[in-house]
Amino acid sequence: MAARLSGTDLTLAYDQRVVASGLSVAIPDESFTVIIGPNACGKSTLLRALARMLKPRTGAVHLDGSVITSLPSKEVARRLGLLPQTSIVPDGITVADLVARGRYPHQRLMRQWSRADEAAVAEAMRATDVTDLAERIVDELSGGQRQRVWLAMALAQETPILLLDEPTTFLDISHQIEVLDLCADLHEAGRTMVAVLHDLNQACRYATHLIVMRAGEVVAEGDPVEVVTPELVHQVFDLRCEIISDPQTGTPLIVPEARRRSPAPA
Amino acid sequence: MTIRLGPWSVRLAPRALVVGLALVVVACGVTVAAISTGEFTVPVPDVVSALFGQGTPVAELIVSKLRAPRVVTGLLVGAAFGLSGAIFQSLTRNPLGSPDFIGFTAGASTGGILAVVAGGSAMTIAGGALTGCVVTAALVYAMAFRGGVQGYRLVLVGIGANALLLAVNSYLLTRANINDAATAGAWLTGSLSGRGWDHAIPVALALAVLLPVCAFLSRPMRMIEMGDDSARAMGIRVEVVRAVAIAAGVLLSGVATAAAGPVVFVALAAPQLARRLTRSPGVTMGASALMGAVLLTAADLAAQRVLAPTQLPVGVLTAAIGGTYLTLLLRKDRH
């Protein structure tokens, strides 16, 4: 299994609080990897470390065989993109201008807007279906539209690897599916996608590679069909459940056990 | 609008260009008006000849020794305050993150007052102001530092420092003898009166070095406005950019205060006005500098003429204009 992006023996900590230690992961190339686990299990922390937002206390993240922090940061930004959990929309910016900011790692002071920049922005807006919104002010868009615009900005960066930190948070169910379908399309087009998600069923449906975490450790890893079992769900989420086959996709579908069965009809 | 030349390309916003040109025109108009009018009117053609050493001795004295240095100091100091405000408002993502509010100007005042009390000359006062500004900034930065500096922490720590320094300044004034207190009080309102070329030159040198730095910083700073993670993901070394920007902003407000005293509100209002006029998302260095220059020179012209022959210190007018503007701004933001 080839992996351009991997972390080895990572100790991850904020100030004094150690979130994970001895953590090793590899992101299979051209996979749609989803990291999942209960709250505070360190999944977002791991993603931040992989995206070099957080410096591991020990161990190292490697990109294409080099320690990621040893590479020039603009060079990394041409290979690896990140959609952070929260970003601030600049006042009064238009969709086209925001998406264009994704070209920053490809630009220089005297090369601010090449034909390649123009083409990449047009393509990113087409792929995310925001072309019609180009001249709209981002602040005035709905949550779902805005998330597509942020995705378009990350796409304009034209990185072969794209990391997404909870891209569906704050979206209603239809917009969640819309964003995940878009991620699946980007994966089909040949990108390596890595996302932190909350919903186990969505993770099973979209992931080609699942990383299941609990308390700073990777508990299971692999194809969701093989990995996800009632025992694993109980071990990781402390939830008793039944697993059936998703009628739409055949992927595992978690059905939590009812606390109290409704009385049987007499 | 994109200008391409071989492998090079520069992106320009047409609206920002028009606003920039308009501000240059207004600045020129104010400059000419400030030099030619007053108790002794020098007609515009005579202004030009006097500047080139071809005028009458009286015109030359008034133009080259009195009025030109004053208006040039005003333009430079205004531009420096405008840039400094633009930098700190961008870094803190907050219009109230101006150097006037986060203690830097108050620190410069403390330095200035101490120099006055020590019986210093104009140059010592300028040195005291610059030192006060830099020391305050270093302390605020150190206290706000936690593996990096977050904008809101800088504002909170800065506001605390500001309150403390204002108290120190009041205390120093009550302890000073009456003459020193009067001198310091006049200096504290900020004034361009009696400014000569020796005031203008340090600000000009600082701008010559720091303007290109600001031009270089403006693109990464716009990315940092979207959040530290977003900017890092784009390959920006956020802490480096922030440290350089803070250093540039502190030096600019320090030299400006050294030259003209703590003129309030230019650093707050210029970037906000520039932003609204250019409708540019994010920090606009060039327009903020031009707007600062126009605001300060226009306020100084008004300060000299409105109640003539009584001359007001320019700080009184910028405070009046700036205060009105701030109120309007807050009123608008409420909706």
Residue of chain B nearest A162, judged by CA positions: B233
Q: Take residue B10 and report the two structure tokens written for it.
A: 């520069």
Contact A204, A219 (CB under 8 A): no
Share of chain A above pLDDT 70, in %: 97
Partners of B281 on chain A (C-beta within 8 Å) are 90-94, 97
- What are the b/e assignments for B136-159, b being 16+ CB within 10 Å? bbeebbebbeeeebbbebbbbbbb
Q: Could A104 and B234 be called an inter-chain contact, meaning their C-beta atoms sit closer than 8 Å?
A: yes
Partners of A73 on chain B (C-beta within 8 Å) are 232, 235-237
Q: Is residue B331 included in any domain, yes or no?
A: no
Mutate to test the interface with A, among B8, B234, B329 (most CBs of A within 10 A): B234
At residue A35, φ and ψ (nearest 5 deg) are: -100, 130
Residue of chain A nearest B8, judged by CA positions: A111
Per-residue pLDDT tens listing for chain B (335 residues):
777 777 777 777 788 889 999 999 999 999 999 988 877 788 888 777 877 777 788 877 888 788 889 999 999 999 999 999 999 999 988 888 888 889 998 999 999 999 988 877 778 888 999 999 999 999 998 998 877 677 788 889 999 999 999 999 999 988 888 888 888 888 888 888 888 888 899 999 999 999 999 999 999 999 999 999 999 999 999 989 999 999 999 999 999 999 998 888 899 889 988 888 888 888 889 999 999 999 999 999 988 888 777 788 888 888 887 777 767 766 766 44
Interface contact A51, partner B, CB < 8 A: yes
Q: Is residue B209 included in any domain, yes or no?
A: yes
A82-96: average pLDDT: 91
User: How many Å lie between the alpha carbon of A263 and the closest alpha carbon of chain B?
Assistant: 52
Predicted pLDDT at B335:
43
Q: How, if at all, do strands A209-214 and A32-36 pair?
A: parallel
Contact A186, A157 (CB under 8 A): no
Interface contact A176, partner B, CB < 8 A: no
Predicted pLDDT at A265:
61
Q: What are the structural domain ranges in chain A? A: 1-79+159-229, 90-157
Range of the domain at B68: 15-325
- What are the b/e assignments for B212-239, b being 16+ CB within 10 Å? ebbeebbbbbbbbbbbbbbbbbbbbebe
- For residue B2, the surrounding DSSP H or E stretch is strand B2-5
In the DSSP assignment, the letter for residue B308 is T
Alpha carbons B265 and B248: distance in angstroms, whole number = 19
* Number of neighbouring beta carbons within 10 Å of residue A142: 11
Alpha carbons A166 and B131: distance in angstroms, whole number = 47
Predicted pLDDT at A45:
94
Alpha carbons A94 and A82: distance in angstroms, whole number = 21
Q: Is residue B32 included in any domain, yes or no?
A: yes
Beta-carbon pairs below 8 A across chains A and B: 88
Q: Could B235 and A81 be called an inter-chain contact, meaning their C-beta atoms sit closer than 8 Å?
A: no
Q: Could B235 and A73 be called an inter-chain contact, meaning their C-beta atoms sit closer than 8 Å?
A: yes
Q: Is residue B225 included in any domain, yes or no?
A: yes
Query: Which CATH number do you get for residue B85?
Result: 1.10.3470.10
What average pLDDT does the structure give for chain A? 92
Residues 6+ apart with CB under 8 A from B3: B9, B10, B11, B12
Predicted pLDDT at A215:
92
Q: Is residue B335 included in any domain, yes or no?
A: no
Q: Is residue B3 included in any domain, yes or no?
A: no
ω into B309 cis (within 30 of 0): yes
Nearest to B11 among A75, A92, A112 (CB): A112
Tokens 């030349």 -> residue: B5
Q: Is pLDDT at A162 greater than 80 in this prediction?
A: yes
Nearest to A90 among B147, B225, B235 (CB): B225
Q: How far is CA A111 from CA A97, B89, B211, B241, in A?
A: 16, 27, 20, 20
Partners of A77 on chain B (C-beta within 8 Å) are 233-235
Partners of A114 on chain B (C-beta within 8 Å) are 7, 9
Alpha carbons A135 and B270: distance in angstroms, whole number = 27
Q: Could B230 and A97 be called an inter-chain contact, meaning their C-beta atoms sit closer than 8 Å?
A: no
Predicted pLDDT at B297:
94
Predicted pLDDT at B317:
86
Listed range (A12-21, A209-218, A236-245, B317-326) with the worst mean pLDDT: B317-326
Q: Could A90 and B216 be called an inter-chain contact, meaning their C-beta atoms sit closer than 8 Å?
A: no
Partners of A88 on chain B (C-beta within 8 Å) are 93, 225-227, 230
Q: Is residue B166 included in any domain, yes or no?
A: yes
Q: Could A101 and B279 be called an inter-chain contact, meaning their C-beta atoms sit closer than 8 Å?
A: no
Interface contact A110, partner B, CB < 8 A: yes
Q: Is residue B106 included in any domain, yes or no?
A: yes
Alpha carbons B192 and B202: distance in angstroms, whole number = 15
* DSSP result, B156-201: HHHHHHHHHHHHHHHHHHHHS-HHHHHHHHHHHH---TT--HHHHH
Q: Could A105 and B235 be called an inter-chain contact, meaning their C-beta atoms sit closer than 8 Å?
A: yes
Q: Could A78 and B7 be called an inter-chain contact, meaning their C-beta atoms sit closer than 8 Å?
A: no
Listed range (A11-25, A150-164, B70-84, B312-326) with the worst mean pLDDT: B312-326
Q: How far is CA B175 from CA A106, B107, B310, in A?
A: 59, 18, 29
CATH fit for domain A1-79+159-229, picks 1.20.120.1200, 3.30.720.110, 3.30.930.10, 3.40.50.300: 3.40.50.300
Interface contact A76, partner B, CB < 8 A: yes
